[in-house]
Structure formats: structure tokens, C-alpha cells
Amino acid sequence: MRIGIIGGGPAGMMCAIKAGENHEVALFEKNEKLGKKLFITGKGRCNLTNYTDEKDFMKNLVRNPSFMFSSIYSFSPFTTYYYFEDLGLPLKVERGNRVFPASDKSSDVIKTYEKKLRQVGVEVRLNTEVTSIKKDGETFILNDREKFDKVVIASGGISYKLTGSTGDGYKFGKEFGHKIIEPKPGLIAGLSLKNVELRVEKDKKVISKEFGEMLFTHRGISGPIVLTTSSKINRLNDFELYLDLKPALSKEKLDNRILRDFEDNQNKNIENVMRNLLPRDLIAYVLDSAKIPGDKKINQITKEEREELVKTIKNFKLIFASLDDIDRAIVTSGGIDVKDIDPKTMESKIVPGLYFIGEVIDIDGLTGGFNIQIANSTGYSCGINL
């Protein structure tokens, strides 16, 4: 067969490798190189997968986890790890089971894909944009001139547009009658905070709680726990965000700690004493939220004010305005509706011979290597089926 694959990200490359073992494959990439988005993931180190079993992996998927059941068992995170090591790419596992190349260079991951593509004879076409897909009988025609027996759309979402993710796959899917779930920012990429807890509440119920690092930026908040939370709340309305600045301390222990600080500094201003407990840049905001003047002497602080201070530190309220612009998102949440795709083969249920893989589909996971694994697993399942 002659197969055309649109998009040279991890999904497209993996699919091309597997399909290329038995068929004539052309891989179209609009950029000047393959894996452009892959190159910048994991701060340039490429978090290739998460070293965990299939069951745990599924728990980290935010949208349509059941759709991934077949492909993740076909090409699991463990399989991915040893597949790339067998191809000559040494890997390492870091905190949170995140897998990175031992060299810490995302370029080494891309080189590994490229080497295998060459070995199986895939024709890689860089700087080549597919602007149209038409079907004539059982044949697909790309750009009104080239004919293919099967076409795979692996063009990504609409996040990080500079890497070429401009929503082409949604346009093609729509033209062929596929429903598009509205794309939202999935994982969105100052003052840095460690060991804090970000909590989401809706109707007085806790619906998300993430512990770890975050940072304040000129646009809002970001960092690992914010990225994870953003994936969980991107389709919610009317919720509240709270930051626990001292999650390791109960209210009672925090109160005792503050009392000790107060007893040792009776004649000092509270804003100076709080430096033992909180980052300097945050103190004014916390005191303002607790309605305590920063220049108030410790010996003038009432019990009620101290209790309000404890409450504020444990429940520092953040006003949610919006998610960051989708151009800065790491992953697109939304895309081609999974109801119209066969989860075992990735083939369209509407148009035989048309396939969708990777981020263009309405599936996404949390930060930590899960989304690149989705790309590799769906690409592998599609390639094997082809």
C-alpha cells in the first residue's frame, strides 16, 4: 500500500516506522525538521514517557481514558522505555517516574526516531504542508496531485503554534464529517514556591488537590501543580482556587509555630516577623488578605487576627480569571471526537482508510510524559494495523 502520514511529531513518526516496515510511506512535515514540538518539551530534555504500568497510566489521563485502553496495552510505557533503549537511546527515570534521555538532550530522542525512519525506508518530506485531502473512490488525493491508499492525520492540536500546530487536523476532520470537541488549553506553559498545595473546590467539595512546586508569573500562576490542575479544570465553571502555603502543618501546629514567633518578637512589626514563615514577596498579600496592617506590632495582634492569619495561610484564595492563551499551552485538550474513531486501529468510522492519531484526537493526560506516550501508543496501534 501507499500511505501518507501528515505530521512529523512522535505520533506520526511512530506510525510511519511501524507502517514503513511493510508499506511505502511518505511522512509530510510542514516544518524544516521533525519533532519540533518534541524538541522543546521537558525544558528541552524531552520527557519521553512515564515509567509506570498501564493501570497507573490510565489514572493520569484526563480526557477519554477508556479510548486508550487498547493502544496503551499494545504499546505500554514499559514497552516504550525498552523499545527506545533497544534502538540505542540510553534512558533514565527521575522523580515522579518521568523518563528522560540519559544525555538530557531532546535532540537525541528525535535522532533515534529519524534513524529508525531511515532504516525502514520512510520517505520524509520536510517543509511540505498538506493543504487539502480529497477522496476519489478508495483513493485519497493530497494537495490535488498525490494519490495514497490510506491517509493518517497526526498534525497535533493548536498549542505552541510556532511549532506548526495550527489545527489543520481539525479542518480535515471536519471536512470529512467528524465532530470536533472544542479545543481548550490542556497544560499551560517570578516568585517560586515549593511544597505548597493547590486546591480546587466546587460547591464546597474538593475536586482536585495537587502538592508540589508552582510559581507566580507576570501573567498569573504556572509550574507543575498548576499545569496538572489546569488539565482538570479546563471544562469547569464556577469553582474556587485555594493555595495552602503550609500543607505540612495542621492549623493547630501552624498556630503554635506563629505563637512561638510572636513570643520571641513582641515589639517588632508583623511584616518583619512573617519573614521566618513566608517568602518576602508574598507577605504583604497574605497580611492584606487577613486584614492585618503590616506595620502592626506583634504585641497588638489579637487572637482573632492570629486565627485569621492561620486561616489565610492555609486557604489563600486565588481569583480565577481564565486559562492562559492556547498558544502557550503545552497540550491541546479537545479535538476529533473519539466516538467516531476505532480505538484499536485509529481508523475513522466515517471515512474508511482515514486515520487520526496523537494530539489531534480528544484525549489528553497530565504532565509527566503521559501525552508523548499517548502519541507513541496511538501511532504504534495505527502503524501496526496498517
Write out the E strands in the chain.
Answer: 2-6, 24-28, 49-50, 61-63, 91-94, 98-101, 123-125, 133-136, 139-142, 146-148, 150-153, 180-188, 191-202, 205-216, 221-222, 240-244, 316-318, 329-336, 354-356, 364-365
Element (H, E) at 83: helix 77-86
Residue 25's beta-bridge partner residues?
3
> By CB neighbour count within 10 A (0-12 exposed, 13-18 middle, 19+ buried), where does 370 fall?
buried
Render 87-152 in DSSP notation, one character per residue: TT--EEEEGGGEEEETT--HHHHHHHHHHHHHHHT-EEETT-----EEEETTEEEETTTEEESEEE
CA distance 378 to 384: 10
Question: Residue 323: its pLDDT value, please?
Answer: 65
Strand pairing class (316-318; 240-244): antiparallel
| Closest listed residue to residue 285, CA positions, set 254, 260, 319 | 319
Along the 386 residues of the chain, how does pLDDT read in single tens digits? 999 999 999 999 999 999 999 999 999 999 899 998 888 777 789 999 999 999 999 988 877 889 999 999 999 999 999 999 999 999 999 988 999 999 999 999 999 999 999 999 999 999 999 999 999 999 999 999 999 999 999 998 655 445 545 678 888 999 999 988 876 655 554 678 899 999 999 888 999 899 998 887 666 777 888 888 887 877 777 888 899 999 999 999 999 999 999 999 999 999 889 988 998 778 878 898 899 988 899 999 999 999 999 999 999 988 776 666 555 455 556 788 999 999 999 999 999 999 999 989 988 877 788 999 999 999 999 999 99
Q: C-alpha cell of 45?
A: 530534555
Buried b (16+ CB within 10 A) or exposed e, 177-190: ebebbebbbbbbbe
Strand pairing class (221-222; 180-188): unpaired
Question: Residue 158: its pLDDT value, please?
Answer: 57
Element (H, E) at 261: helix 251-264
- DSSP SS3 for 235: coil
Question: Residue 160: its pLDDT value, please?
Answer: 47
CA distance 319 to 303: 27
Question: Residue 364: its pLDDT value, please?
Answer: 80
CA distance 75 to 81: 10
Q: C-alpha cell of 88?
A: 540505542
Mark residue 92 as left, alpha or beta (left: phi above 0; alpha: psi -120 to 50; beta: remaining): beta
Question: Residue 94: its pLDDT value, please?
Answer: 93
| Closest listed residue to residue 377, CA positions, set 344, 337, 339, 331 | 344
Q: Which residues, 6+ apart, have CB-to-CB distance to 249 below 8 Å?
A: 257
Residue 269's beta-bridge partner residues?
297
Question: Residue 125: its pLDDT value, please?
Answer: 97
Report phi then psi at 318, rounded to 5: -110, 135
CA distance 109 to 103: 10
Residue with cell 516506522: 17
Q: C-alpha cell of 200?
A: 480546587
